[in-house]
Amino acid sequence: MSPAENTRQYKRDLRRLMTSVTVAIASFGVMLLAIIAYAGWSANTSAVEREQQLVANALNRSITRALNEQKSVAWWDQAVTNITDRRIDFDFVDANFGYFLTDTYAHDEVYILNGAGAPVYAFFEEARQTPAVFQRRAADLAPLLAEVIGPGPATLQSRPGVFAQGDYRFLAGGGTGAKWGGHILSIDGKAAVVAAMTIVPNVDTALAPASPHVLVSVSYIDEGFLARLGQSLLLPDLSLRPTAADENGLVSQSFVADDGVRLGELTWTAKRPGDVLLNVILPLVALGILLAGGLAIHILMRLKRASAELAQREASTRHQAKHDMLSGLPNRTYFLEQLDTLLASRGPDGAPLHAIVAYIDIDRFKDINDTLGHDVGDRLITSVAARLQSNLRAGDFLARFGGDEFAILCENAGADEVAALSQWVARTFAEPFLEGGGAIRVTTSVGVALTPENGDTSEILMRHADIALYEAKANGRDCAVLFTPEMAKTVETRRKVELDLRAALESGKLDVHYQTIVSAGTGQVTGVEALVRWRHEVRGDIAPALFIPIAEESGLMPAIGEWVLRRVFEDAARWPGIEVAVNLSPVQFRQSSLPALLERLVAEYGVSSERIVLEITEGVLLDSSDRTQAILDTVRSMGFKTALDDFGAGYSSLAHLCNYKFDKIKIDRSFVSETIKKEAARSIVQAVVKLGRGLGMDIVAEGVETEIDAIQMRQFGCNELQGFFFSRPMPRAGIDAVLRDRTSDPSEKATWLKVAANV
């Protein structure tokens, strides 16, 4: 999965998480609230139910109480004897029934009927009344009396637990004729507890009359009644209302008499134990859930923000990983990724895609860096990158590979477009860059490789572009070179040479030959120059001009150089009295360990340092001049002679002759051979000789191939001559022989010595 997809997936997961957390909290919250609400509601409901039950029970109990109160006088031997069909002791009845039941037990009306149901006694409002007043109650009380006196059917609804018949089995079953009944009835439209009970003996059953009198009492369920009832039930505002209350907090229970008459609504303020749940806990929990929800959302939002930041940071890290810090361009990794993608894709016909890969390398960037400083160098790189980028053609992909090296990938481009690319690069760099307070003119070398022609993997393509770039540099820079297989072969050869050279060095296959240097004045051999030789087993002699650069590039040069120096010191010890010149590669010369090595060799071989001439080319003087100067000074102070080799061949500058102190100048052989043909060469040689001698340096002419060369160089005033005319480079045994013959006078044989010299 790609990083971008990863991020998207992560965001999706987060969104899903947010949804599920929200849903979870919401559903949990709703559930919790529902449970609390249900608990509150159910606590309230069951409290009401309980109160209703209590009220019902209390009403039932009031019937039982009325009967119990009646019982205290009705079931009494004395009552039986004082209330008979023949005689009624009204004083007794007033005291024990009328007053007693109304005063003591607050019955409102008391009646006594005889066995036939005719009223014989009435008492209410604190006074005995004429028994006939019972008639106004007769109809209302008829169902009750029917129940007690019989035989009528029980039409009234019975109430549970009321003065149960079984409790008084003795009286009821003992033949005393004990009977009773209690109900709540509507009396004159008012609710009342009514009770009826036969008056029978409680001790002497013999007194039991055939048809006993019946005590009837009416207690109105009025305000006072309800107040008492309410107090005992802790319902202080219990009241009877005609209609159900609809005020908040009040409950009503319809109050129906046992004969089915609706008496009104019993109403009271309900205790609502669930209200604390509903009014306090429910809102608190709701608040808690809201807070928890808010907190969760807050956390999730932060998570989301954090993840967004993370994704952004990740993206910037990804960007950094694929881009170059200095220029902001894609880096090597990104470029190769891009190239690999392109190489992996195919055209519509299934054929590989065509593309150009090119290295663009700033020429002599190192010199710019060295002379103008790294800051300017960095700024230049940035400007170059910006200019390349802004001029980029559609479909081209530009990257910086580090240092001064850029790479470009041109899609859908083949060999035909190489010229266009090289023109584009040239145009891009046509204007100078304004950096470091001046205009810097920049040229580039471009190495180009094509796919599929030059390779189908990024590794091969880049290597081939690199080889082409190397070729462009070798061809004098400021040009674009398209890779050819021959270039690869050359590189391959170089690689082979390098391997063989290493082996040759290790197995002692290298040799040193010497070429004599003669005095222009006497013709005597004054010295020799050491020249390294390599005879390859297969390829034969390989010229140092070919393998020395390879050794320099591959890092072999210091080892070869040290080996040559050792040989030179060894051989110099054989040839006292002459100088031995040795070539030092710039690579060798730049090594700070050179003076120490020379010192060691001097000590080891006992050769005077004055007999050793160190030859360096002007190339050495081109870079890090301070260090070069220091090393030059050091070796000269150690007594070694120095010679400026190949003078006039490279970047010759007369300034070098003034700035650096050399013992000798070796005029390059190209000048020596030109002097015969060209006046200019002659003038230059003469000038150099004059200048050099003026600065106290000896002048050596190299490449003296003919007697004419020798005569001319002698005439120009050179001090020493070297070349095939005198001798070819030869093994040290040859020099041994030359030095043995030195005693014979050469002036006898050589005509060049007879010409008048300028020496």
Residues near Ca ion (CB under 5 A) are 583, 615, 645-646, 702
Round to whole Å and give the CA distance between 408 and 425: 10
Give the nearer residue to Ca ion in terms of CB position, either 102 or 583: 583
676 binds ligand C2E (CB under 6 A): no
In sign, the C-alpha dihedral spanning 659, 663, 669, 671 is: positive
Span from 309-317, 331-339, 700-708, 751-759 in contact with ligand C2E (CB under 6 A):
700-708
Q: What are phi and psi of 574, to 5 degrees?
A: -75, -25
Q: Which does 650 bind (CB under 5 to 8 A by kind): Ca ion, ligand C2E, none?
A: none
**Smallest distance from ligand C2E to CB 405, Å:** 29
In single-letter form, the type of residue at position 333 comes to T
Q: Which candidate, 549, 627, 634, places its Cα nearest to that of 583? A: 549
Give the nearer residue to ligand C2E in terms of CB position, either 451 or 516: 516
Residue 19 · residue 320 · CB < 8 Å: no
**Smallest distance from ligand C2E to CB 688, Å:** 16
Span from 18-26, 189-197, 476-484, 583-591 in contact with ligand C2E (CB under 6 A):
583-591
**Which listed residue (69, 108, 417, 646) binds ligand C2E by CB under 6 A?**
646
**Smallest distance from Ca ion to CB 726, Å:** 15
Give the nearer residue to ligand C2E in terms of CB position, either 159 or 669: 669
Binding-site residue total for ligand C2E (CB under 6 A)? 23
Give the nearer residue to ligand C2E in terms of CB position, either 324 or 529: 529
Report cis status (omega within 30 of 0) of the bond before 283.
no
583 binds ligand C2E (CB under 6 A): yes
Give the nearer residue to Ca ion in terms of CB position, either 51 or 702: 702
Q: Which does 564 bind (CB under 5 to 8 A by kind): Ca ion, ligand C2E, none?
A: ligand C2E
Element (H, E) at 127: strand 127-129
**Smallest distance from Ca ion to CB 694, Å:** 22
116 binds ligand C2E (CB under 6 A): no
Span from 117-125, 227-235, 701-709, 739-747 in contact with ligand C2E (CB under 6 A):
701-709
Q: Which does 729 bind (CB under 5 to 8 A by kind): ligand C2E, Ca ion, none?
A: ligand C2E
Round to whole Å and give the CA distance between 706 and 712: 10
Residues 602-621 that bind ligand C2E (CB under 6 A): 615
**Which listed residue (453, 478, 623, 705) binds ligand C2E by CB under 6 A?**
705
Enter the tokens of residue 302: 């932060």
Residue 571 · residue 608 · CB < 8 Å: no
Q: Which candidate, 713, 707, 623, places its Cα nearest to that of 665? A: 713
Give the nearer residue to ligand C2E in terms of CB position, either 83 or 672: 672
**Smallest distance from ligand C2E to CB 608, Å:** 21
**Smallest distance from Ca ion to CB 460, Å:** 40
Residue 517 · residue 700 · CB < 8 Å: yes
Residues 523-562 that bind ligand C2E (CB under 6 A): 530-532, 543-545, 548
Per-residue H/E/C for 173-194? HCCCCCCEEEEEEEECCEEEEE
Element (H, E) at 612: strand 612-617
**Smallest distance from ligand C2E to CB 652, Å:** 14
**Smallest distance from ligand C2E to CB 543, Å:** 5
Overall residue count recorded for the chain in this entry = 759
Give the nearer residue to ligand C2E in terms of CB position, either 264 or 703: 703
Question: Alpha helices of 323-358 — where are they, by DSSP H?
Answer: 332-344
Chain centre to alpha carbon of residue 716: 79
Residue 686: count of CB within 10 angstroms of its CB? 15
**Smallest distance from ligand C2E to CB 616, Å:** 9
Give the nearer residue to Ca ion in terms of CB position, either 32 or 649: 649
Q: Which does 544 bind (CB under 5 to 8 A by kind): ligand C2E, Ca ion, none?
A: ligand C2E
In sign, the C-alpha dihedral spanning 521, 526, 531, 537 is: positive
Element (H, E) at 531: strand 525-536
In sign, the C-alpha dihedral spanning 515, 518, 523, 524 is: negative
Round to whole Å and give the CA distance between 722 and 669: 9
Residue 646 · residue 617 · CB < 8 Å: yes
Here's the x/- map for ligand C2E, 709-738, by CB under 6 A: it reads as: --------------xx----x---------
206 binds ligand C2E (CB under 6 A): no
Contacts (Cβ under 8 Å, ≥6 apart) of 459: none
**Which listed residue (58, 380, 407, 564) binds ligand C2E by CB under 6 A?**
564
Q: Which does 515 bind (CB under 5 to 8 A by kind): ligand C2E, Ca ion, none?
A: ligand C2E
Q: Which candidate, 248, 190, 250, 251, places its Cα nearest to that of 218? A: 190
**Smallest distance from Ca ion to CB 573, Å:** 21
**Smallest distance from Ca ion to CB 529, Å:** 6
Q: Which candidate, 567, 573, 702, 583, places its Cα nearest to that of 642? A: 583
In single-letter form, the type of residue at position 80 comes to V
Q: Which candidate, 465, 456, 519, 458, places its Cα nearest to that of 488? A: 465
Q: What residues does 700 pair with on adjacent strands?
A: 666, 720
**Smallest distance from ligand C2E to CB 626, Å:** 22
Contacts (Cβ under 8 Å, ≥6 apart) of 252: 241, 244, 245, 265, 266, 267
**Which listed residue (703, 711, 712, 716) binds ligand C2E by CB under 6 A?**
703
**Smallest distance from ligand C2E to CB 705, Å:** 4
Give the nearer residue to Ca ion in terms of CB position, either 324 or 646: 646
**Smallest distance from Ca ion to CB 757, Å:** 23
Q: Which candidate, 164, 165, 175, places its Cα nearest to that of 201? A: 175
- 711-737 as b/e, with b when 16 or more CB fall inside 10 Å? bbbbbbbbbbbbbebbbebbebebbee
**Which listed residue (464, 669, 714, 732) binds ligand C2E by CB under 6 A?**
669
Q: 664 by DSSP, 3-state: which?
A: strand
Residue 405 · residue 395 · CB < 8 Å: no
Round to whole Å and give the CA distance between 196 and 190: 18
Q: What are phi and psi of 627, to 5 degrees?
A: -70, -40
Q: 712 by DSSP, 3-state: which?
A: helix
Give the nearer residue to ligand C2E in terms of CB position, either 254 or 670: 670
515 binds ligand C2E (CB under 6 A): yes
Give the nearer residue to ligand C2E in terms of CB position, either 63 or 620: 620
Q: Both ends of the chain: CA-CA distance in Å?
A: 84
**Smallest distance from Ca ion to CB 611, Å:** 16
Q: Which does 197 bind (CB under 5 to 8 A by kind): ligand C2E, Ca ion, none?
A: none
Q: Which does 543 bind (CB under 5 to 8 A by kind): ligand C2E, Ca ion, none?
A: ligand C2E
Span from 4-12, 14-22, 173-181, 579-587 in contact with ligand C2E (CB under 6 A):
579-587
**Smallest distance from ligand C2E to CB 553, Å:** 13
Q: Which does 548 bind (CB under 5 to 8 A by kind): Ca ion, ligand C2E, none?
A: ligand C2E
Q: Which does 185 bind (CB under 5 to 8 A by kind): Ca ion, ligand C2E, none?
A: none
**Smallest distance from ligand C2E to CB 477, Å:** 22
Q: What residues does 198 pair with on adjacent strands?
A: 214
Residue 692 · residue 657 · CB < 8 Å: yes
Give the nearer residue to Ca ion in terms of CB position, either 458 or 583: 583
Judged by the rule CB under 6 A, the positions of this chain that interact with ligand C2E are 515, 530-532, 543-545, 548, 564, 583-585, 615, 645-646, 669, 702-705, 723-724, 729
